[in-house]
Amino acid sequence: MKAIIATKNPGKIEGARKAFSHYYSDLEVVGIPINSDVSDEPVNEEIMLGAKNRVKNLKRYCKKNKISADLFIAIESGITNALGEWIIISVAVIEDNNNLRSWGTSNGFPVPSKYVDEVINTSLGKVMDKIFNETDLADGKGGISLLAKDVVSRIDLTEKAFIMALTQFLNINKWSD
């Protein structure tokens, strides 16, 4: 099983690898940096759109460069108030060669109201780097690892989002569009 993920972020690649390894042996996960065509900090519907765009752009890139895979995957994190309060979530999208697509989300974590505008105007990573006096939190375990005192990492959130997205692929005859 070969899955190509639309990122070079090591935490996202590892989270995807962990998710898929629960169900597939002989697994290869390859990262290729692909644009999302949305804001640097996606807001609300942009989160899903960014993940879908990454998969679409990834498939186009792979076709142009004659790169084959079984699954094309992406994850996009952003801020949403769709539930009435501001939270950070990640949306994972998976698509196969027959254009079967599924998606899932990670757990969400709250954003204090005093930081919402700054997160939207820059990015969660930049805001957290500043608050916690860190650098490049977005590239590793993520800011959630600091907030959760290393109990949950970006890798964990990514893994769970991809597991949720896999539910339709794993139950194709009963639980898919």
Contact partners, residue 170, CB within 8 Å, separation at least 6: 23
Q: What is the pTM of this model?
A: 0.95
What integer pLDDT is reported at residue 136 of this predicted model?
A: 65
**Mean pLDDT of the region 38-58:** 97
pLDDT score recorded for residue 38 = 97
Alpha helices in 65-153 (DSSP H): 113-121, 124-132, 143-147
| pLDDT, position 45 | 98
Inter-helix orientation angle 113-121/124-132, to 10°: 120
Q: What is the pLDDT of residue 146?
A: 86
Integer angstrom CA distances of residue 122 from 50, 79, 110, 117, 126: 16, 12, 17, 9, 7
Q: What is the pLDDT of residue 119?
A: 96
Q: Which two tokens stand for residue 16?
A: 């995807």
For the stretch 72-88, pLDDT in tens is: 999 999 999 999 999 99
Q: How confident is residue 139, by pLDDT bands cut at 50, 70 and 90? A: low
User: Looking at residue 21, what is its pLDDT?
Assistant: 98
Average pLDDT in the chain? 94
Distances from the Cα of 107 to the Cα of 14, 69, 104, angstroms = 17, 28, 10
pLDDT-derived band at 137, boundaries 50, 70, 90 = low
Are the CB atoms for 88 and 124 separated by under 8 Å? yes
Residues 162, 90: Cα–Cα separation, whole Å: 10
Q: Provide the H-helix boundaries in the chain.
A: 10-21, 45-64, 113-121, 124-132, 143-147, 154-170
Assign 93 a pLDDT band (cuts: 50, 70, 90).
very high
Confidence of residue 125 (pLDDT cuts 50, 70, 90): confident
Q: Within 13 Å, how many C-alpha atoms sit on residue 58's CB side?
A: 32
